[in-house]
Chains A and B, each alone.
Chain A
Amino acid sequence: GNSVTQMEGPVTLSEEAFLTINCTYTATGYPSLFWYVQYPGEGLQLLLKATKADDKGSNKGFEATYRKETTSFHLEKGSVQVSDSAVYFCAPIPYTGNQFYFGTGTSLTVIP
């Protein structure tokens, strides 16, 4: 089955700092990889995804590259803003399965 290991939080950064949230996974087959974001008091929203090895997903200044050799999908942003404060979830989704399993989530707080 699938499992995800995410970087422990909470993470606190100053505005304009560089962000990395690590994510490694184990999966059968070749999963698609996703990052979801949860803003305070809301449900989750899809942030970005990558469907095959070496693909780079990007959105809102965030990027993550599908690294099959290291089974990783680390989330990065060059310059974070206060509005990026949220919980970030990594999820490998199997190509043929119905089960969407998420990492434990990493809470990010950006201070002015």
Chain B
Amino acid sequence: SQTIHQWPATLVQPVGSPLSLECTVEGTSNPNLYWYRQAAGRGLQLLFYSVGIGQISSEVPQNLSASRPQDRQFILSSKKLLLSDSGFYLCASERSGANVLTFGAGSRLTVL
């Protein structure tokens, strides 16, 4: 079975600072990978998904970006954080063709 590792688990950053959230996957190869954001009291917003190394699809234009430098590594970044970037960020993996998502434990970001 898949295991999704996310870090850091919690992060407090000032407005305008950079961001890097990392996600790695164990237990499968060539997964589809996803970044979601869950703002306080709101549902899940799909931010990015990737079907392979270097292949990133963006769902919502914003000041965030994603990269997939290795098959099982997915990174969410920002050059300058905004207050509205605060939220709970979830990485998810889909074993190729399985049609089921496995989620990491999440990274809670607070921008002050």
Q: Which of B32, B46, B90, B92 contacts A101 (CB 8 A)?
A: B46
Q: Is the CB of B105 within 8 A of A100?
A: no
Q: Give complex CA distance A60, B43 in Å.
A: 23
> For residues 42 through 98 of chain B, which have their beta carbon under 8 Å from a beta carbon of chain A?
42-44, 46, 49, 51, 57, 59, 90, 92, 94
Give the chain A neighbours of B104 by CB distance below 8 A.
43
Chain B nearest CB, measured from A64 CB (Å): 15
Across the interface, do B44 and A102 meet the contact criterion of CB distance under 8 Å? yes
Report chain B residues within 8 Å CB of A89. 43-44
Task: Report A-chain residues with C-beta under 8 Å of the C-beta of B49.
Answer: 98-100
Give the dominant DSSP class at B's interface: strand
Q: Which of A12-20, A44-52, A74-82 contacts B (4 or more CB under 8 A)?
A: A44-52
The interface size of chain B toward A, counting residues with CB under 8 Å, comes to: 23
Q: A49 to B99, alpha carbons, bound, how many Å?
A: 10
Name 29 interchain pairs, CB-CB below 8 A, sorted by A: A34-B100, A36-B101, A42-B105, A42-B106, A43-B92, A43-B103, A43-B105, A43-B106, A44-B44, A44-B90, A44-B101, A44-B103, A46-B102, A49-B100, A89-B44, A98-B49, A98-B94, A99-B49, A99-B59, A100-B49, A100-B94, A102-B36, A102-B44, A102-B46, A103-B43, A104-B42, A104-B43, A105-B43, A105-B44
Q: Which A residues are within 8 Å of any B CB, using their own CB?
A: 32, 34, 36, 41-46, 49, 89, 93, 95, 98-105
